[in-house]
Amino acid sequence: MEVLLLNDDTIAAVATGLGGAGIGIIRISGKNAVDIGNALFVNPKEKTLKDAESHQLLYGRVRDPITKKDIDEVLISKMKAPHSYTAEDVVEINCHGGIVSLRKILSLVIKAGARLAEPGEFTKRAFLNGRIDLTQAESVMDIINAKTEKSLEYSVGQLEGRLSQKLEELDGALIGILAHMEVNIDYPEYDIEEISYAFVNNEIIKLLNIIKELLLVAETGKIYREGITTAILGEPNVGKSSLLNTLLMEEKAIVTEIPGTTRDTIEEYMNIQGIPFKIIDTAGIRETDNLVEKLGVEKSRKLLKQTNLVIFMRDISKELSPGEKELLELLKNRKTIYIANKTDSLEREGIKIPTPWIPMSLMKEQGIDILKNKMVEMVYDGTVNQDADYLITNTRHIQLLEKTKASLENAMTTMKIKMPIEVVSIDIMDALEFLRGITGKAVGIDIINQIFKNFCIGK
C-alpha cells in the first residue's frame, strides 16, 4: 500500500487497447524508466536508449537480458522529465507482435524493476506532478475508482473456477501457519503444541508446488487465455450448440484445462484467421426457456459486460418470442452479430432476410464463413477490441504469485539459518500479503480471528 501512494517508484502498463493487428504500446514512467528500457532494448547500430535524444523514435528489438532471445521488433522512445505525460521520465515501447509478445515484454519490464501501474495511475501522477491542470482534477478522481472497479471485475472474472480454489487453498494454509505461530508467541503458557520448523518447511514446500504449478499454467497461457470474449446467445434449440460445434470442428479448438464445471457457462478457445477468440458457451442454460429468466437480468448484464462481442442467434422460421425481445433490448448498445438460423426450414427459398441479420443454415452448412469474416472484420475495423485489462490482470497475478513464492523461499532460508519464529513470521506475512494482492482482500485482523477460532486461549 505504501508504495502505491508514495508515487516515487517506476510503473508500467499497456497503454493501448489490443486491436486485432496486435499493435500495442507499453508505457513506463518513473525514475528508473530509462534504465529499464535501456536494459531490454537492442539496436542494429548499437544506439542505446540512454544516449538517445528525448522524444526521438528508435527502431530495434526487445531482447530478454537473461535468455538473450529476441522478443519483438519495436519502436522505442523516451520522454525526459518534465516534458512527458506524467512529468516523470517516460519510455514507450511500440510493439506489434500481438498479445503474446506484448505480455512477454511487459513481464520483462516488470522483472527489470517496474511495478504494474494501478488503474488511472499515469493520470494520477500527471496531475500530482502538475502536468494536468486543476480543472481536470475532478475527472481524474472519477476515473480512478471507475477503472479500479472495472479491473476488479475482470480480475474476479478470471478468478472463478479452479484458480480461485487454489488461491483459497494457499490463503487458508498461510493463515493457518501464521495463526499457529502467533498463538505460540502471544500465548506461550497455554498447552498448545509449538509449531515446528520442520512442519512449516514441509507446508511451504507443498505451497510452493501449488504456486509453481499455477505460474507454469499462467505463463504458458493455459489459464488466462486472452481472446476476444464472445458469447453466443439465443433461445433453446435455435442452434447455438450446433454453431459452436461447427466452429470448433472447423477451427482447431483449444481445449481449456479448467472447464467451468461450477458455473453456468463454459469457455472455448479458437483461432479464426489468426485472431484468438474466447467463446462463452451458455451450455448450462441451454435447457431452459429464457436466458434472462434463468440468469436473472443482473447476471445477464454482468455476462454481457464481460464480453467484447455477442453472437445473437434466432430461429428465422419462428416469430420473436417475448424472451428474445427482452434479450435484444439488453443487446441494444452492444457489439452484436445477428444470426438468422434455419433458413432451410423456411417455406420457400429466396425470402429476403433483412439486415443486420445474417442468414444461416447450419444443416446445409451455409453462412458460417460469412459469420467468421464478420467476426474478424469487426476486430480489424476496431468495432471490437480486446481490453488490455485482461492482459494486465494476468501479468499482475503472475507478478504477485512470484513475489509470494519469493517470500516463502525467504522464510525457508530464515528457518535454515535458525532465526527465531517472529522473524520467520515476517516472511510468511509478506507472502500472505502478496497473495492477497490478487483478490484485493486486506489481511487485517484475519490472523487474530483465526487464533481465537482455532485455539482455546484466554485466562
Partner 1 sequence: MTYLGGEYDVIVIGAGHAGSEAALASARLGCKTLLLTLSLDSVAMMPCNPSIGGTGKGHLVREIDALGGEMGKNIDATMIQSKMLNTGKGPAVHSLRAQADKKAYQFRMKEVIENQENLLLKQQEATEILVENGEIIGVKVHTGAVYTCKAAVICSGTYLKGRIFIGDIQYDSGPNGLFPAMSLSDSLEKNGIELQRFKTGTPARVDAKTLDYSKMVIQKGDDHIVPFSFETDHIDMEQVPCYLTYTNPETHQMINDNMERSPLYTGDVVGVGPRYCPSIETKVLRFKDKDRHQIFIEPEGLNTNEAYVQGMSSSLPEDVQIALYRTVPGMEKVEFMRSAYAIEYDCIHPTRLKPSLESKDVKGLFFGGQINGTSGYEEAAAQGLIAGINAAQYLRSEQPFVIDRSDGYIGVLIDDIITKGVDEPYRMMTSRSEYRLLLRQDNADLRLTPMGHTLGLISQERYNQFLDKKAAIENEIKRIAEVIVKPTEENNIILDSLASSKIRHGVTLSELIRRPEIKYLQTKPFDSERPLLHWSVVEQVEVMIKYEGYIKKQLLQVEQFKKLENKYIPQGLDFRTISGLRIEAIEKLHEIKPQSIGQASRISGVSPADLSVLLIALEQRRRNSETHKGENRNE
Residue number, 320 or 442, with CB nearest to partner 1 = 442
Task: With contacts defined by CB under 8 A, name the span among 67-75, 94-102, 353-361, 413-421 that binds partner 1.
Answer: 413-421
Query: What residues from 41 to 100 belong to the interface with partner 1 (CB under 8 A)?
Result: none
Judge whether 259 and 336 are in contact, CB under 8 Å: no
CB 86 within 8 A of CB 122: yes
For partner 1, the closer of residues 59 and 452 by Cβ is 452
Nearer to partner 1, 66 or 417 (CB): 417
Instruction: Based on the shown chain and the rule CB under 8 A, indicate whether residue 198 belongs to the binding site for partner 1.
Output: no
Tell which residue, 288, 187, 284, 287, has the closest CA to residue 231: 284
Instruction: Tell me which residues in 420-439 interact with partner 1 (CB under 8 A).
Output: 420-423, 426
The yes or no reply on residue 124 touching partner 1 (CB under 8 A) is yes
Q: Report the candidate in 142, 195, 149, 141 with the shortest Cα–Cα distance to residue 173.
A: 195
CB of 182 to partner 1, least distance (A): 4
- Contact status: 118 vs partner 1 (CB under 8 A): yes
Residue 358: its H or E element = strand 358-359
Of 134-142, 203-211, 269-277, 378-386, the window that binds partner 1 (rule: CB under 8 A) is: 134-142
Task: Compute the distance between CA of residue 408 and CA of residue 317 in angstroms, rounded to an integer.
Answer: 62
Binding of partner 1 by 448 (CB under 8 A): yes
Residue 134 binds partner 1, judged by CB under 8 A: yes
Q: Residue 440: which region, alpha, beta or left (left: phi > 0; alpha: psi -120 to 50)? A: left
Residue 185 as a binder of partner 1 (CB under 8 A): the answer is yes
Under rule CB under 8 A, residue 417 binds partner 1: yes
Cell numbers 445473437: residue:
312
Kindly state whether residue 193 participates in binding partner 1, applying the rule CB under 8 A. Answer: no
Position among 75, 344, 419, 446 found at the interface with partner 1 (CB under 8 A): 419
Q: How far apart are the first and last CA of the chain?
A: 36
Distance CA 451, CA 185 (A): 11
Amino acid identity of residue 239, one-letter, is G
Our CB check for partner 1 shows the closer of 188 and 350 to be 188
Label each residue of 156-178 as H, E or C.
HHHHCCHHHHHHHHHHHHHHHHH
Instruction: State which of positions 91-110 bind partner 1 (CB under 8 A).
Output: none
Residue 2 is a binding residue for partner 1 (CB under 8 A): yes
Grid cell of 171 as nine digits: 490463503
Coil, strand or helix at 297:
helix
Among 188, 274, 350, 354, the residue binding partner 1 under the rule CB under 8 A is 188
Mark 4-33 with x for binding to partner 1 (rule: CB under 8 A) and - for no binding.
xxx---------------------------
Nearer to partner 1, 63 or 147 (CB): 147
Binding of residue 389 to partner 1 (CB under 8 A) = no
In the bound state with partner 1, the residue whose beta carbon lies nearer, of 106 and 411, is 411
- CA 230/CA 246 separation, integer angstroms: 16
x/- track of binding to partner 1 for residues 145-184 (CB under 8 A): x--x---------------------------------x-x
**In the complex, minimum distance from the CB of residue 270 to partner 1, in angstroms, rounded to a whole number:** 36
419 CB-near residues (< 8 Å, 6+ apart): none
CA distances to 185, 391, 420 from 413, in Å: 20, 33, 12
Q: Distance between CA 355 and CA 258 in Å, rounded?
A: 38
What whole-number distance in Å separates Cα of residue 144 and Cα of residue 182?
37
DSSP 8-state symbol, 274: T
Interface residues with partner 1 (CB under 8 A)?
1-6, 118-121, 124, 127-128, 130, 134, 137-138, 140-145, 148, 182, 184-191, 417-423, 426, 440, 442, 444, 447-448, 451-452, 456-459
